[in-house]
Amino acid sequence: MGMLDSLPTRIVRRLEGMSEGISRALREVGTEIRQEYADPDEPNNGGPTPLSYAALKGPEEAVGILPGKKEVYPDKPDIDGRTPLFYAAWYGHKEVVKALLRRTEVNPDKPDNCGRTPLLHAAWYGQEEVVKVLLGRKEVNPDKPDNYGRTPLWHAASYGHGNVVEALLELDEVNPNGRDNGGWTPLVCAASSGHGEVVKALLRRKGVDPDLSDIYGRTPLFHAAWGGHWEVAKALLERDDVNPNEPDKDGWTPLAWAAASGHGEVVKVLLKLEEVNPDKPDRYGMTPLSRAALNGHGEVVKTLLEQDKVNLDDDNRGRAPLSYAARNGHEEVVGMLMEQPHSGMPC
């Protein structure tokens, strides 16, 4: 059931339709709510309380829907464990957040049923002003993870909210290397999504490990290469503590994934490094050239063929790059490979 279903239809329509005279409309809605609910703290059908719904809508006057009623508890959670403060933070209503925080009963760090605090949700949705307000409260843990091990920084980095990331990184309590349950760090999140400015901000933070892998052995560089984010890959490779040839648990290197995905610019960036092996096989014996040929990425195949160390012979399955290209009908790639000596053509 959606949030709108939790209040009577006439009240929802009134809230959704207001554009002018918002203070007057909210006062009228407040009167209807008080008439509709015997208990103004009671969620309707498991949804948010009247105060939570008002906080979600946003204007500061909304918190005055139930003014001065001693029985109204401003920190009442709904069925999902979400309080009025949670909703106001989620939707970026700074003045509502500040108004709620003036009430001593409100816990600014209360998590919902998924372990997500108001700060975490504000960071997730890039609500910079709300994040700053919440970070000003000593009760708020700026590095508190949710049930999946994901911190406010993790979420902000994942969605590319640079200003929020910067604000969080200013705090010593925030761990830039915090892993979620899948081993993803904030840097892995930012690199996989191509958020270059966030990646640079994280790399500037003292103590960040730019080569920390996830549970599958995949580093930030690996994820950047996989996603084709060559500028992010370049930024990571400027660090001396990044291994450009590090394989994951299946033996795939960043080059292998870039080649398999047809990300030619990333391939070129990686091949500029002497330590990168252009012919490193994975655990199945397939090289970057075999992966590129299999998927018909002609430009990548051409770039790899310019390398002296590339092997055109069979892998441990008895298949050469030419075989993979021919099997999938990649005529252009077949032609390029057949022009090479020892191309793997059968006698």
pLDDT digits (tens, 9 = 90+) for 282-307: 998 899 999 999 999 999 999 999 99
Which CATH fold would you assign to the domain 244-347?
Answer: 1.25.40
Chain position carrying tokens 């970026």:
92
Write the pLDDT tens digit of every residue in 69-84: 555 688 989 999 999 9
- CATH topology identical between 1-114 and 244-347: yes
**Separation of alpha carbons 269 and 276, rounded Å:** 10
**Which homologous superfamily does the CATH classification assign to the domain defined by 1-114?**
Ankyrin repeat-containing domain (1.25.40.20)
Name the pTM for this structure: 0.82
Domain ranges across the chain: 1-114, 244-347
Write the pLDDT tens digit of every residue in 176-207: 999 999 999 999 999 999 999 999 999 999 99
pLDDT band at 2; cut points 50, 70, 90: very low
**Separation of alpha carbons 5 and 23, rounded Å:** 23
Write the pLDDT tens digit of every residue in 19-56: 444 445 445 545 554 444 445 556 555 566 666 666 66
Calculated CA dihedral for residues 177, 180, 184, 189, nearest 10 degrees: -90
